[in-house]
Structure 1
Amino acid sequence: MQRRTILRGLAAGTVAGPAAAILGPGAARAASDYHVVTTEQVSNRLLTFNKYAPFTDANVLWSFSPGGGGWSNLSDVKLRNTAHHGWIALATASSGQAGIINIGGDTHTNLSHLMWSATPGGNPHAIERIPNNGSVVVASSHGYLTVYAPSAISDPGTLAAVQTESLPGAHGVLWDPTYELLWAIGQDTLRGYAVEGTYRNTRIRHYGVTVGLGAGNLGHDLQPDYSNNQRLLCTATDGVYEINTAGGTFSKVKISSETLVKSYVRHWDGEAISVRADDVGSRVWGSPTVRFSASPDQTRSGAEFYKARIWAVNLE
């Protein structure tokens, strides 16, 4: 009830406070001012900030603190909208866990806010939810995708593993509503999967929709281009790519030869947000800095950011 009240208030433009300020698409759509949600691995939290505010504890707008163990080294976060629960957060951790977080009206969340969790194994690197189906797909970098399907779409607690699909080097998954494909990225390739069936009969099938990345080129992050729903964005060993999907003809265009880019996404106004591993510190694959192509970068002392996302629910 609390979440629905906040969302209704946001739509009416009447709610104040940190949680209300971020729970909705209006804040993310502003051309010059929006929020980003990050995976910060030293404190092991999902941390959300306004892009212009210093990335300090005092300016955290929303967080998820799962502790350690299987939730160590948070590796992915996505926000999605659901018919029954409003906005939710999807998360994975390289130490083994994946889950769905009830954002609700709480500014700071923890394991008690989990609506569902699982242990896919093999270094979970990314997670996605299939809209109007309720299924969840997790990419594990050891080489496979795991499909979790519900017995009740409105109840994430009913999700159970129903399929394991081989994908060497699996690192990213993303739902493309324009072509109703689940994209997954791994070693040398980006693949599109059809989602078939419902409830526990849900399966993903690869019918040959593939974008080659080149031999020896490990795909890493996969994100939407919010400025153009006919493009996807991905990072790989040798740089950053746009994947053009217009007309159902899928092709790649290299837009940067910068290496070690761990996440890359583009806002509606065209600004790119990225994280590049600096090869130093407690986690050489991370960085204390989130980069903005048209605004000042933000550095958090002692942090190791791995992913940075726009606070938005999907590619529209």
Structure 2
Amino acid sequence: MSAGLALLLIGTTAGPAAAARPGGGSWRPGAPVAVVDQASRRVLVLHGADELMAFHGPDHLPVVWSWTADRDTALADLSPARSWSSPTEAKSRVRDGRRYLLTTASGGLAAVVDLATGTPVWAVDTGPTANPHSAELLPDGNVAVVASTGGWVRVYTASQGPRSTDHAEYPLAGAHGVHRDARTGLLWTVGDDTLTALRVGGTAAAPVLTPERTLALPEPGGHDLAPVLAAPGQFWISTAGRLWRFDPSHDRFEAVPVTPQESAREVKSVGDEPGTGRLLTTAPDHAGPCTWCTSVLTCHRPDGIRRLEGTHLYKARWWTGR
């Protein structure tokens, strides 16, 4: 087993208990990992690196939790056969002591799912042409959604009901990534060419979006936006050809060197593991019918890969709740 993903041993909680190491001693599993698999149309939380090495196809992955809109009768009114096509996001967030999955799909669906029950607490169909790519849960229970083809950032009034479609909207070409910085309350969003910080004002029932800062990306093709867990207030950003670390206190983009450098191209998701700083990324491997997907999870610092044959992975995230 290569060292790069040696700590991808996971449980269903953010802080698994130490386990016995074969031959004596103890070790603490690394953070859980969730993947978006477009082949099986599921969000999967995987059990561990050892199991990843031994799996025999997508139906035998070491899955400890999964969710799909296809099997959720509560979402039948949102036409999941279409709206759940090509899922694009899986984030874990905690609010008021409860943990949620935030998920989106290119077909139009955006949803918040209670992990304890597997029940959607809010969901909306944004339509077949918007192409939602990410979402964020706000402190008041509302949900920010970004859509690349739609070219918008929206804050939906999810706090007002499980099918609330009222929203505030801000135009952003190629909107792909969104993250709320709890330190400043700003909603950061990334599009094709720009990084924009929005202030969410108004009320929970009638939110208002106001731009506070807009910066040009160092190169086009903005895609993922994620917090640097080791440095709160900073962000990972992926563009067409590079990975970047952004420090808003100095408006500075710093290129992130990875090995091989080619693995930094077209990155769909990036994030650092709590405690270790290990980076986890996904990028298209151009080896299957899904030209934007991959069957490979890649780690950096230390480097290592896991190939999950039969999957069409779009994003992979440390399952941390942040």
* Partner Cα distance (1:189, 1:58) in 2: 38
Aligned-residue CA RMSD in angstroms?
A: 2.3
Residue identity matched to 2:256: I
2:32 paired residue among 30, 35, 39: 35
TM-score of the aligned structures, taking structure 2 as reference length? 0.80
Give how far 1:161 is off: 2.2
Give how far 1:151 is off: 5.3
The reply on whether 1:168 has 2:181 as its aligned counterpart is no
Higher alpha-carbon deviation: 41-50 or 286-295:
286-295
Aligned position for 2:216: 212
Kept after mapping to 2: 8 A contact 1:54/1:298? no
* Partner Cα distance (1:149, 1:28) in 2: 37
Residue identity matched to 1:226: L
1:74 paired residue among 87, 91, 95: 87
Deviations for 1:185-207, whole angstroms, at most 9, x for unmatched residues?
A: 00211111111122212122102
Kept after mapping to 2: 8 A contact 1:99/1:117? yes
Give how far 1:99 is off: 0.5
Give how far 1:60 is off: 0.3
Aligned position for 1:306: 314
Kept after mapping to 2: 8 A contact 1:168/1:187? yes
The reply on whether 1:53 has 2:50 as its aligned counterpart is yes
Deviations for 1:99-151, whole angstroms, at most 9, x for unmatched residues?
A: 0112115xxx5xxx2222112231011111112x1111110001111220145
Aligned position for 2:289: 282
Q: 1:127 to 1:211 in 2, by over 3 A?
A: same
Residue identity matched to 1:86: R
Higher alpha-carbon deviation: 27-36 or 172-181:
27-36
TM-score of the aligned structures, taking structure 1 as reference length? 0.82
1:270 paired residue among 277, 280, 283: 277
Counterparts in 2 of 1:229-244, with a 5 A limit? 229-244=232-247
Give how far 1:263 is off: 1.0
Give how far 1:295 is off: 6.0
* Partner Cα distance (1:233, 1:227) in 2: 11
Aligned position for 2:114: 102
Counterparts in 2 of 1:124-139, with a 5 A limit? 124-131=132-139, 133-139=140-146
The reply on whether 1:297 has 2:297 as its aligned counterpart is no
* Partner Cα distance (1:304, 1:77) in 2: 14
Aligned position for 1:22: 12
Residue identity matched to 1:277: P
Gaps of 5+ in 1: 1-19
Give how far 1:250 is off: 2.6
Residue 169 of structure 1 aligns to a residue whose secondary structure is coil
Give how far 1:31 is off: 7.0
Kept after mapping to 1: 8 A contact 2:181/2:233? no
Residue identity matched to 1:181: L
Gaps of 5+ in 2: 1-9, 19-26, 71-80
Report how many residues are paired.
279
Give how far 1:158 is off: 5.9
The reply on whether 1:64 has 2:61 as its aligned counterpart is no
Give how far 1:211 is off: 2.8
* Partner Cα distance (1:303, 1:187) in 2: 27
Aligned position for 1:189: 194
* Partner Cα distance (2:82, 2:163) in 1: 24
Kept after mapping to 2: 8 A contact 1:287/1:306? yes
Kept after mapping to 1: 8 A contact 2:142/2:159? no
Give how far 1:225 is off: 1.3
Kept after mapping to 1: 8 A contact 2:35/2:313? yes
